[in-house]
Amino acid sequence: MGYPEYKIEFSDNAADDLRYFLKSGQLGLIKKIKNLIDSITENPASGIGKPELLKHNLAGYYSRRIDREHRIIYKVDQQTIRILSLRGHY
């Protein structure tokens, strides 16, 4: 039994964040983001980056560490992973 196939959707904010990292030339962060997204598609609730289910105004979203400063914030709906942001903290 394999993993379900997930479609990845980036919010406008997350797409801007990704463009920021690409323009910055921070290849290590870009690779880490790719690895985190790969891990999320394998198992949205566990894996690398210390997944944490968020509360309050972000209830239903998860956070994973990209580095000390940045987090990937995402939500899983059916077969879609919606990425809310990649820069900063929540």
Identify the active-site residue in 5, 52, 69, 70.
Answer: 52
**Residue 52 is a catalytic residue:** yes
Identify the active-site residue in 42, 56, 69, 89.
Answer: 89
Q: Are strands 62-65 and 71-77 parallel, antiparallel or unpaired?
A: antiparallel
CA distance 18 to 15: 5
**Which residues are part of the catalytic machinery?**
52, 89
